[in-house]
Amino acid sequence: MANMEKPLTSVIIPAAGMGRRMNAPINKQYLTIHGKPILAHTLEVFEKCPLINEIVLVINQEEFSICKLQVLKPYCFTKIKLVRGGDTRQESVFRGLKAINPKTDIVMVHDGARPVIQESVIVRSIYETVEHRATTVGVAAKNTIKVIGEDGFVEHTPNRDYLVEIQTPQTFEYGLLKEAHEQAVLQGIEGTDDAFLVERQNVPVKIVIGHYTNIKITTPEDLIIAESIIKRLIKNDKKIRKN
């Protein structure tokens, strides 16, 4: 890499999904939490992080105007590059990969609907990736998981000590992720996440321990939870500044 101390880092934020489970009249990323659009909360963390050089925001082309009007201009983002999304999340990420700075060392992929990501996790993900080439944020599974068969009966219960709930960001060497996506296109593979595509390249993916608060907003109930988390974080931040 060009600079091991401070690698050139780009983040791709896919936010082109329709979010149908939210049952809202607009796409969920434009719904507000604590008076600010979900997408603005997400972008703000990466905008403020000094290790992030550019943010490639992948959205539906018909939403370019609303995104600029409600998110980009009001909050004065300067690192953003808008890219038209694809029909699937994987296609959107691939379009983002083709649009980032070709000199990029590290590329992160983060869900637009995860607005409570912490900067400390972003920083750890970058430096873990410098060392291990591929990482994904995750948290230990809280619940017992059962593997079932087609008949609906339990087949076995895996050891929860080895189960991790995967979040984002997922972070990779730029060339590694680009090649993984190119191979997926050639082979007609649709992965559940970017780490899956990299795993297919026989590259081990290191887990970076995250926070349970880094929730993905999918349903109306998630909005309530995220609002509570953000209010608490703001309150704690004010206490720290006062002291």
Contact present, 66 and 142 (Cβ < 8 Å): no
Considering the domain boundaries, does residue 113 fall inside one? yes
| DSSP sequence for 140-203 | E--S---EE-TTS-EEE---GGG-EEEEEEEEEEHHHHHHHHHHHHHHT---SSHHHHHHTTT-
Considering the domain boundaries, does residue 124 fall inside one? yes
Contact present, 216 and 225 (Cβ < 8 Å): no
Measure CA 33 to chain center: 18
Of the candidates 159, 165, 160, the residue with the CA atom closest to the CA atom of residue 138: 165
- How many other β-carbons are positioned within 10 Å of the β-carbon of residue 160? 13
Q: Is 207 helix (H, G, I), strand (E, B) or coil?
A: strand
Of the candidates 232, 214, 206, 227, the residue with the CA atom closest to the CA atom of residue 110: 214
Considering the domain boundaries, does residue 2 fall inside one? no
Considering the domain boundaries, does residue 148 fall inside one? no
- Cα angle 15-131-125, degrees, rounded to a multiple of 5: 30
Pairing type for strands 106-109 and 164-173 reads antiparallel
Region 147-164 average pLDDT = 97
Can you give the length of the chain in residues? 243
Contact present, 163 and 145 (Cβ < 8 Å): yes
Considering the domain boundaries, does residue 152 fall inside one? no
Considering the domain boundaries, does residue 101 fall inside one? yes
For the stretch 76-104, pLDDT in tens is 999 999 999 999 999 999 999 999 999 99
pLDDT at residue 2, rounded to an integer: 46
Region 177-193 average pLDDT = 97
For the stretch 15-34, pLDDT in tens is 987 666 676 777 889 999 99
Considering the domain boundaries, does residue 153 fall inside one? no
Full domain range(s) for residue 108: 9-135+166-242
Region 161-172 average pLDDT = 97
- Cα angle 186-188-191, degrees, rounded to a multiple of 5: 115
> Which tokens in the block code for residue 1?
């890499």
pLDDT at residue 185, rounded to an integer: 97
> Which tokens in the block code for residue 27?
């796409």
Per the structure, how many domains does the chain have? 1
Q: Is pLDDT above 90 for 234? A: no
Considering the domain boundaries, does residue 79 fall inside one? yes
Q: How many CA atoms lie within 13 A of 145 on its CB side?
A: 12
Task: CATH number of the domain at 191, please.
Answer: 3.90.550.10
